[in-house]
């Protein structure tokens, strides 16, 4: 297992700066996700780690070794592409063996390691088949075995599940995490799928315009976003603009058009003073509906659209000229939701105060 350190990394393509003095530290054996909107720099960063791009400034370290300008084949990274890139004229075993043959590994050793790699991804019985005889999920497993067989120092995955259907994506999320942990691999995984990242990552970084906006565990990033961009990118949220009344011990009291709220600061280092403009972020599942006025942190309004989905119901609450989205687990409110005035309340711990 190795750590990965990225220091002040800058990468340009002509007049476009894809990465801007980016800093990041990835721990040994960590399954680390890079997320962000299209064009944010996540694939550029992954390809810089692989050695396909050489940065104009900054440094990349694998452990204590500076690999910034090291050729890709000398970095000993395993990379898995979105397209899988399997050779159609080769068998599964030959595809997996290709990297070892290029490294001049002895034939007996190749056979043994290919067998182990295919068994690790549960494809041992398919060694003699060709890629066109496999399903998309099976091809994905072969591509993963090919990346693992060279015994890489780290594994780099570029949206590996994007070509699979929803059921296979769910299955392969767990499989990738199992394999990475079994092989004790430091893994960097690029995706645009938030659920994928939330479900299997150890930590994640949210990128935008070539910069890191926030790094943390899935729970930290989801529950305590530090900016509107992060809150809006990870999951759904209701934004409510307001003005700070007071700040104390990491909490703030905020006046809004919907009422007065108490919440926690998304970024404790950014302490807005009284009178500062802020935005409240409340996840739809954090609102609790009631008929009785519940006191603080409450919104009064009426239900617009209501959609029953079995285990949950989705509501549109119209309050103060704003529309809020509310989710109710094990719905009991929907039978009477279309009538009259209702209230929605959120606990202070579920209200995140974001500085402008």
If you ran DSSP here, which 8-state letter would residue 133 be given? G
Q: How many domains does the chain have?
A: 2
Q: With a cut of 60, say whether residue 231 has pLDDT above it.
A: yes
CB 242 within 8 A of CB 280: yes
Please tell me whether residues 219 and 272 are part of one structural domain. no
232 found inside a domain:
no
Is the pTM higher than 0.95? The answer reads no
Please tell me whether residues 158 and 14 are part of one structural domain. yes
Domain that holds residue 288: 237-355
Q: With a cut of 60, say whether residue 238 has pLDDT above it.
A: yes
Q: Residues 90-98: what's their mean pLDDT?
A: 93
Domain boundary among 165, 199, 223: 223
What are the E-state strand segments in 106-209? 154-158, 186-190, 203-208
Please tell me whether residues 60 and 170 are part of one structural domain. yes
- Supply the pLDDT for residue 172: 82
Distance CA 158, CA 189 (A): 6
- Supply the pLDDT for residue 338: 55
Domain boundary among 191, 223, 255: 223
Q: Residues 96-111: what's their mean pLDDT?
A: 90
Q: Residues 335-340: what's their mean pLDDT?
A: 62
Please tell me whether residues 196 and 82 are part of one structural domain. yes
Q: Which residues pair with 34 in a beta bridge?
A: 190, 205
Q: Residues 105-134: what's their mean pLDDT?
A: 92
What are the E-state strand segments in the chain? 4-13, 16-26, 31-35, 57-62, 65-66, 77-80, 154-158, 186-190, 203-208, 211-216, 238-248, 251-256, 259-265, 277-282, 288-290, 298-308, 312-319, 322-329, 342-345, 351-355
Please tell me whether residues 25 and 162 are part of one structural domain. yes
Comparing CA positions, the residue from 8, 97, 92 lying closest to residue 58 is 8
Q: With a cut of 90, say whether residue 214 has pLDDT above it.
A: yes
Please tell me whether residues 55 and 148 are part of one structural domain. yes
- Supply the pLDDT for residue 204: 97
Least confident of 163-172, 201-210, 245-254: 163-172
Least confident of 67-71, 141-145, 242-246: 141-145
Please tell me whether residues 169 and 97 are part of one structural domain. yes
For the chain, the average pLDDT equals: 91
Whichever domain contains 48, its CATH number is: 3.40.50.300
What are 55-90's pLDDT values in tens digits? 999 999 999 999 999 999 899 898 887 777 888 999
Q: With a cut of 80, say whether residue 163 has pLDDT above it.
A: no
What are 6-39's pLDDT values in tens digits? 999 999 999 999 999 999 999 999 999 999 998 8
- Supply the pLDDT for residue 316: 92
Q: Residues 102-120: what's their mean pLDDT?
A: 91
Residues 6+ positions from 323 with CB-CB distance below 8 Å: 304, 316, 317
Q: With a cut of 70, say whether residue 96 has pLDDT above it.
A: yes
Least confident of 45-49, 81-85, 294-298: 81-85
256 found inside a domain:
yes
- Supply the pLDDT for residue 336: 59
- Supply the pLDDT for residue 291: 84
Comparing CA positions, the residue from 203, 244, 238, 239 lying closest to residue 221 is 203
Confidence of residue 341 (pLDDT cuts 50, 70, 90): confident
**Interhelix angle 107-120/136-149, nearest 10 degrees:** 130
Please tell me whether residues 203 and 256 are part of one structural domain. no
- Supply the pLDDT for residue 335: 66
- Supply the pLDDT for residue 99: 86
Whichever domain contains 324, its CATH number is: 2.40.50.100
Place of tokens 């209501």: 306
Q: Which residues pair with 340 in a beta bridge?
A: none
What radius of gyration do the chain's Cα atoms show? 24
Domain boundary among 223, 254, 270: 223
Confidence of residue 339 (pLDDT cuts 50, 70, 90): low
* Furthest CA-CA distance within the chain: 77
Please tell me whether residues 34 and 166 are part of one structural domain. yes
Please tell me whether residues 280 and 247 are part of one structural domain. yes
- Supply the pLDDT for residue 85: 80
Please tell me whether residues 258 and 208 are part of one structural domain. no
Confidence of residue 174 (pLDDT cuts 50, 70, 90): confident
33 found inside a domain:
yes
262 found inside a domain:
yes
Element (H, E) at 94: helix 92-102
- Supply the pLDDT for residue 337: 52
Please tell me whether residues 64 and 179 are part of one structural domain. yes
Residue 41's φ and ψ, nearest 5 degrees, are 110, 0
């Amino acid at each position: 297992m190795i750590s990965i350190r990225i220091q002040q990394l800058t990468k340009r393509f002509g007049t476009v700066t894809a990465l801007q003095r980016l800093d990041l530290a990835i721990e040994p054996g960590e399954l680390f996700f890079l997320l962000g909107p299209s064009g944010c720099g996540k694939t550029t960063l992954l390809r810089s780690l692989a050695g396909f791009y050489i940065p104009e400034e900054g440094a990349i370290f694998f452990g204590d070794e500076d690999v910034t300008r090291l050729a890709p084949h000398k970095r000993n990274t395993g990379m898995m592409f979105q397209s899988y890139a399997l050779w159609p004229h080769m068998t599964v075993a030959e595809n997996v063996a290709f990297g070892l043959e290029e490294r001049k590994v002895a034939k007996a050793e190749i056979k043994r390691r290919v067998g182990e790699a295919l068994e690790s991804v549960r494809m041992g019985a398919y060694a003699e088949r060709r890629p066109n005889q496999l399903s998309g999920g099976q091809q994905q497993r072969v591509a993963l075995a090919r990346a693992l067989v060279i015994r890489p120092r780290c594994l780099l995955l570029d949206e590996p599940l994007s070509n699979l259907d929803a059921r296979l994506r769910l299955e392969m999320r767990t499989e990738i995490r199992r394999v990475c942990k079994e092989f004790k691999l430091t893994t960097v995984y690029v995706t645009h799928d938030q659920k994928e990242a939330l479900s299997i990552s150890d930590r994640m970084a949210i990128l935008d315009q070539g910069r890191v906006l926030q790094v943390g565990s899935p729970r930290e990033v989801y529950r305590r976003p530090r900016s509107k961009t992060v809150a809006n990118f990870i999951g759904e949220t209701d934004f409510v603009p307001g003005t700070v009344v007071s700040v104390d011990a990491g909490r703030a009291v905020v006046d809004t058009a919907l009422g007065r709220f108490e919440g926690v600061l998304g970024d404790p280092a950014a302490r807005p003073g009284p009178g500062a403009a802020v935005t409240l972020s409340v996840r739809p599942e954090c609102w609790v509906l009631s008929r009785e006025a519940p006191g603080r942190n409450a919104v009064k309004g009426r239900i617009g659209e209501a959609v029953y989905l079995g285990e949950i119901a989705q509501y549109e609450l119209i309050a103060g000229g704003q529309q809020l989205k509310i989710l109710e687990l094990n719905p009991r409110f929907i039978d009477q939701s279309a009538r009259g005035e209702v209230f929605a309340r959120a606990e202070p711990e579920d209200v995140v105060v974001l500085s402008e």
